[in-house]
Amino acid sequence: MAVNDAERDAMSRALALAAHGPRGLNPQVGAVILSPTGETLSEGWHHGAGTPHAEVDALSKLAPGEAAGATAVVTLEPCNHTGRTGPCSQALIDAGVARVIYALDDPGVASSGGSDRMRAAGLDVVAGLESDAAHTLIADWLSVQRLGRPHVTVKWAQSLDGRAAASDGTSQWITGPVARADVHARRAQADAIVVGTGTVLADDPALTARDGDALLAHQPIPVVIGSRATPADAAVHRHPLAPIFYDTHDLNAVLADLRERGVQRVFVEGGPTLASAFLAAGLADAVLAYIAPVLLGGGRLALADIGVGTIADARRLTVDEWIPLGEDLLAVARVTSESEGS
């Protein structure tokens, strides 16, 4: 891959620009236009759905003909389709750009192919520069493209004997303060936090991400699934973001709607009925199991029926980490597909 220092610096700059863009329906993308001698002519990034893509944003800052013979350095393959905006690959061709360097191939069926179009038009196209950094930047968006829905993490806290609550239904607190702080930090990494109406009625959770009593900078959208009404004075109504309520048991429909809203990472907090429903439907990608060294007995299990009738049908997990949290232990695991387990 023949690239020079100016082009490498431009890609680093493009990645930094991309991070200014919002997470959502579209990927975060940055672009830098270099003159034939390596000076920066313009910069751009994608400002959100319906706005010009990064390449067009950068080109719009140049006078007609100023991009002739230039090099465009972009964090994602220029698109090849017409949606709310036109194809960026054609915009670069029309602007007279001679060379395009990008980090990652576009995974979209409709939007990919920009590199082929540009090569066919005679442009020099180089792919793969800083691909790892670009992948890290938009990993969540790429996951959504691969799955066709948001990435789903199912979390629960349990006693050593697998219970989520005592016989009278009380569950605060099974785990200690270090584990609870870890949960809040992970909530802040999600776009939406999902519970069932049963949890809202039993625990009245705020569904915020906090450091002690202080709200963290990023808050997940609170989502409540179920047909029972949420009381008007429930804590979820005081969340900084307006809660979303779904009067349905169709989890695929819920995830499809959340995707349309730009949600990429979903954090399912409970309770056992909802967690089990996501696992049974094959809609869980990761599991966070917080295990406390206490015994509760009784029948209030952390999970209900997930469709496992025999040991051969067990849902296999790949544990990536075992993390001690005070006296508690966190299992960070991926749900293993049948193809991976076979």
The letter for the amino acid at 142 is L
**Does the annotation mark 55 as catalytic?**
yes
What kind and span of H or E run contains 280? helix 272-280
Q: How far apart are CA 69 and CA 124, in angstroms?
A: 11
What lies within 8 Å, CB to CB, of 160 at 6+ separation is: 291, 292, 293, 294, 295
Which phi and psi angles does 331 have, rounded to 5°? -100, 120
- pTM of this prediction exceeds 0.85: no
Q: Which of 128, 267, 107, 253 is closest to 192 using CA atoms?
A: 267
HSE, CB side, 13 Å, CA atoms: give it for residue 38. Answer: 7
Q: How far apart are CA 152 and CA 140, in angstroms?
A: 11
Report the pLDDT value the prediction gives residue 162, as an integer from 0 to 100.
94
Report the pLDDT value the prediction gives residue 84, as an integer from 0 to 100.
66
Name the E strands within 247-340.
265-270, 286-292, 317-325, 328-335
Report the pLDDT value the prediction gives residue 140, as an integer from 0 to 100.
87
Report the pLDDT value the prediction gives residue 55, as an integer from 0 to 100.
95
How high is the mean pLDDT in each 10-residue block of the chain (342 residues)?
Answer: 90 96 88 96 91 94 95 95 80 96 87 90 95 93 90 95 88 91 94 93 91 92 94 94 95 96 91 93 95 93 92 90 96 73 37
Report the pLDDT value the prediction gives residue 38, as an integer from 0 to 100.
94
Report the pLDDT value the prediction gives residue 341, as an integer from 0 to 100.
40
CA 309 to chain centre: 32
Q: How far apart are CA 14 and CA 337, in angstroms?
A: 36
Domains 5-144 and 149-341 share a fold: no
> CATH second-level architecture of 149-341?
3-Layer(aba) Sandwich (3.40)
Domain range summary for the chain, segments of one domain joined by +:
5-144, 149-341
Per-residue buried b or exposed e for 87-101, using 16+ beta carbons within 10 Å of the residue's own CB: bbbbbbbebebebbb
Helices (H), 88-203: 88-94, 114-120, 131-137, 139-147, 177-187, 197-203
SS3 187: helix
Q: How far apart are CA 67 and CA 59, in angstroms?
A: 7
Report the pLDDT value the prediction gives residue 179, as an integer from 0 to 100.
96
Q: Which token pair is 151?
A: 């990435």
Considering the candidates 7, 39, 43, 55, report the single residue annotated as catalytic: 55
What lies within 8 Å, CB to CB, of 129 at 6+ separation is: 1, 3, 7, 8, 11, 73, 101, 102, 103
For domain 5-144, the CATH superfamily is: Cytidine Deaminase, domain 2 (3.40.140.10)
What lies within 8 Å, CB to CB, of 333 at 6+ separation is: 286, 287, 288, 289, 317, 318, 319, 320
Cβ atoms 323, 175 nearer than 8 A: no
Q: How far apart are CA 254 and CA 149, in angstroms?
A: 10
